Structure 1
Amino acid sequence: MSRTDKGRRTKSERAERVQDWEADPTLDPTPILDAEREQGASIGRFNLAVVGGTGVGKSSLINAIFGKDSAPTGVGMPVTKGIDYHLNPDGSLGIWDFEGFEAGSAKSPEDHVAEGLGEIAAGPREQQIAVVWYCIQASSGRITENDIRLIRTFADKGLHVILVLTKVQRAKEGITGRWAPSGEAKQMLEFLQDPRDESGNLIDLPVSGTVMTAAVDQGKFGGPKHGLEDLLSQTLETSPEENQDALRVVQQLSLPLKRELAQRYINSAAASAMAIAATPIPFADAVALAPVQLTMMGKVAAAYRIDLKVVLSAQALAQLGVQYAGRAAARSIVKVIPGVGWIINAAVAGTITYVTGQSWMRLCEAVHTKKVNLDDIEQAWKDYGPSAQQVLKYYMKFARMSRNNSRPA
């Protein structure tokens, strides 16, 4: 056989292999749905208690951090007088709304709150409060004895309270041009930094932090909205660890918080793929990586609250799995990795899974921010897929990891 004929046959064999990878009837895309559903259930719900009277700006704060129409509206689930529970449409956010209490009641406001907290504590786990926002309008210029007693009531139940000053107006400093709190807000902040009564005695005010906020622009003489990122950060820091991922998912203010969660899933999947290929496998068996990759994609979708079953048909999901995982992912990526031949080792498996996850995360983020419609996801994937430079970069990274892991301790 001539060298030319041999070369033609080799090219023909490779073309047949490529066709086999593109048409992968053995690939089951259901792990992506299972993973999204199970991860969403595992993450659970974030429950926030919000305290403050009508007009203090609670709804604006909630909508600013958790997205439009997240604030309690209409009739919720009454617990006790002045306390209602509201769920957002997909059940990922619960709002305990502690309204003002009527004067002249047989029970004091703190007794009402204590009673309500007792009922909440005895209720289901998925309704337990993670953090309390105690909201006071900054223009009031003061915190009352009633506020202090209520804050202590929450703290006595082991809850973290963030004191939120709302509708804080600011003014530009003449020299620096920076925005600084003005008027009553500045006086209140100074008082809260060292709270003392009329006799000069230190007031026990058990709050985890104080945040000055304006959920909407305050106009030409009040400055732009502010303090929301600080409030979100303090809410995350003071939340129990078991509730933090739920907050990362449900909040709509910070994309980096969602990326942080999605990246965790990607790193875990890449490690699992490396373990599968610790003993190198033929490209024909790259489908063994598909469940890991599809599970990763489902978890990342859950981090961005994308319900794939609702927005994609069964046919589209099947095509999604065939196109983005297993042998198809290998075919599209390894061609830019020099010298790997037809065998998938740990470094190649880690690279394939990691860059697929990175691309899927970027695409989910584009869908989440409404830059891409899920109807266009098949075409959009080409725009969000990994570049050759990214593939090579991460291949070198995973190759080093693989060498280090193979060295004796």
Structure 2
Amino acid sequence: MTQWFTDAFRAEFEKQAAQIGRFNLAIFGKTGVGKSTLINAIFGQNVAATGIGDPVTLDAHLYLDTRGTLGLIDTRGLEIGRDDGELIKEVTKYVKQMRSKPVHEQIHVAWYCVRGMDRRFEEVEATFIKTLHDLGIPVLLVFTQVPMREGQYHPDAVELARQVEAKQLPIIGGRPFMTYAMRDQFTGQPPHGLMDVLQATFHVVPEAVHAALAAAQTIDLEAKAKAAQRHIGATVAAAGAAAAVPIPFSSAALLVPLQLGMMGRIAHLYQLPFDKAALLAVASTSVATTLGRTAAANALKFLPGAGSVAGGVINASVASGFTLATGQAWLTVCQKAAGGQLPKLNGVVDTKAVRDMFESEFRKRMPTIRHKQD
């Protein structure tokens, strides 16, 4: 039974990965402006510092690194201000080639990074930004390493921003986004501005990659939760429509793929690898099966002779309620897992504690189920 479940969960887990696709971010800027630090701060420590896979060469100096739901497109060996013509040629060639490809293969947004304290923004940088815009790529201009004190940005960065805004460049919001990516241990300068950059990115990328962006980023937990809730809602509706058979999780052939797909989607949103997600899913659904049978039995008790039209209505109701409770309980498990908050026993995840956690959350949302002593 466990092997069957693991295989079925793997199939749905992989299917969800394909459906979520990939969010592709092009990041540009001069050497040393802090591009890697910015990427690491928003998408996870050491993503950019160590690379995120074997890079795919898009052209002589243009590369795509991928890991799951995140793709990073950048340049190597070219410097803005020195190799502008070559860089523009390669980016233009790639964008034109990708226009006929699926959406997850395209560049969805570009972040052009400038060190906010450099006091200088060159005309070649403005030209490059205009080129990206003309190619149909939304551009966020990000000022990096901008100190802030008592809610005020450093005057040098403010002055540079004023100069840039006067150029009326085709950038999102018409202004630079002031950021400081990582806390400075020496000065105590805290990070700021990251959420503004991320939210602006959500606003301009295609809706088709919102789930991939929600999964890839690590700073906006509310965005992950909202994406999970949307998918739970869609699965609940589908479960109600599909319910023409009794509800038990182990026997409802139409409902099992829906529910496993829902669990796989939420696991991806919280960046849980398959092995860990499968371990948690086995622990959780072992109790879900029993609770599902109880829910169906409790509902049918109130319908004498249920089994025809009325029985079908009850089955749809129970299917929806059971799927909702499963989704919400599984979301809690995934959130705890992503936050490193799952109980452990001898250094490994305590599956019994996970099972108890899932059952507790499930019962909160499936009130017709009672403890044996009730």
TM-score by length of structure 2 reads 0.79
Report the counterpart of residue 403 of structure 1 in structure 2.
Answer: none
Residue number in structure 2 paired with 1:376:
350
Q: Which amino acid aligns with 1:299?
A: R
Structure 2 stretches of 5 or more lacking a match? Answer: 370-374
2:226 aligns with: 260
Q: Does 1:84 align with 2:33?
A: no
Do the aligned partners of 2:44 and 2:218 also contact (CA within 8 Å) in 1?
A: yes
SS of the aligned residue for 2:291 comes to helix
Amino acid at match of 1:71: A
Letter in 2 for 1:158: G
2:113: which partner in 1? 135
**Corresponding residue of 1:113:** 88
**Please, which of 178, 189, 203 is the counterpart of residue 161 of structure 2?**
189
Contact 1:29/1:321, CA 8 A, preserved across alignment: no
Structure 1 segment 136-155 matched on structure 2, within 5 A: 136-155=114-133
Deviation larger for 182-191 or 385-394: 385-394
Does the 8 Å contact 1:72/1:86 carry over to 2? no
| Alpha-carbon separation, structure 1, partners of 2:227 and 2:180 | 28
- Corresponding residue for residue 367 of structure 1: 337
Kindly provide the amino acid, as one letter, of the partner of residue 190 in structure 1: R
Q: Which residue of 2 aligns with 1:169?
A: 147
User: Do the aligned partners of 1:29 and 1:320 also contact (CA within 8 Å) in 2?
Assistant: no
Measure the CA separation in 2 of the matches of 1:247 and 1:25. Answer: 32
CA contact (8 A) 1:286 1:330 kept: no
Report the Cα offset of residue 345 of structure 1.
3.3
CA contact (8 A) 1:167 1:218 kept: no
Post-superposition CA distance 1:72-92 (Å, at most 9, x none): 5468444445533323xx443
Aligned partners of 2:201, 2:38: CA distance in 1, in Å? 13
Q: Residue 166 of structure 1: CA displacement?
A: 0.3
Taking the aligned partners of 2:245 and 2:18, their CA distance within structure 1 comes to 35
Query: How much has 1:217 moved relative to structure 2?
Result: 2.1
Give the whole-Å Cα distance in 2 for the aligned partners of 1:280 and 1:239. 41
Q: Residue 201 of structure 2 aligns to a residue in which SS?
A: helix
Counterparts of 1:393 and 1:269, CA distance in 2: 21
Larger Rg: 1
Distance 1:312 1:93, change over 3 A: closer
Query: Secondary structure at the residue paired with 2:33?
Result: coil
Give ranges in structure 1 of 5+ residues lacking alignment: 1-23, 173-178, 196-202, 395-409
The residue correspondences of 1:323-334 to structure 2 (distance < 5 A) are 323-325=286-288, 327-331=289-293
For 1:236-288, what per-residue CA distance to the aligned partner results, in whole angstroms no more than 9, with x for missing partners? 111122222211111111111111222122112211222244x6848699635
Deviations 1:308-366 (A, max 9, x none): 3x3377xx5894475154x4231465689897579753332221110111010110111
Name the CA shift for 1:99/1:56 in 2 (closer, same or farther; >3 Å). Answer: farther
Structure 1 residues 119 and 270 mapped into 2: Cα distance closer, same or farther (>3 Å)? closer
3-state secondary structure, aligned to 1:162: strand
Q: Is the 8 A contact 1:169 1:222 kept in 2?
A: no
* Offset, 1:370: 1.9
Q: Which residue in the other structure is 1:34 paired with?
A: 11
Equivalent residue letter for 2:291: A
Q: Go from structure 1 to structure 2 and tell me whether the alpha carbon gap of 1:184 and 1:291 turns closer, same or farther (over 3 Å shift).
A: same
Contact 1:236 1:244 in 2 (8 A): yes
Q: Of 73, 79, 86, which aligns to 1:96? A: 73
1:26 and 1:103 mapped to 2: Cα distance?
Answer: 54
> Aligned partners of 1:284, 1:130: CA distance in 2, in Å?
39
1:390 to 2:365 alignment: yes
Whether the aligned pair in 2 keeps the contact of 1:120 and 1:127 (CA below 8 Å) is no
Seen in structure 2, the aligned counterparts of structure 1 residues 100 and 140 have a Cα distance that, compared at 3 Å, is farther
Question: CA separation in 1, counterparts of 2:40 and 2:115?
Answer: 17
Tell me whether 61-70 or 289-298 shows the greater mean CA deviation. Answer: 289-298
| Mapped partners of 1:280, 1:84: distance in 2 | 51
Instruction: Name the residue aligned to 1:287.
Output: 252
Residue in 2 that maps onto 1:311? 276
RMSD: 3.5
> What TM-score do you get using the length of structure 1 for normalisation?
0.73
Match of 2:192 in 1: 226
What SS class does the counterpart of residue 367 from structure 2 fall into? helix
Partners of 1:271 and 1:113 lie apart in 2 by: 47
Q: Aligned in 2, Cα 1:56/1:283: closer, same or farther, shift over 3 Å?
A: closer
In the TM superposition, residue 164 of structure 1 has moved relative to its aligned partner by 0.1
**Separation in 1, partners of 2:249, 2:26:** 54
User: Is 1:151–1:206's contact at 8 Å kept on the other side of the alignment?
Assistant: yes
2:372 alignment partner in structure 1 = none
Distance of 1:60 and 1:335 partners within structure 2: 55
Moved more, 147-156 or 380-389: 380-389
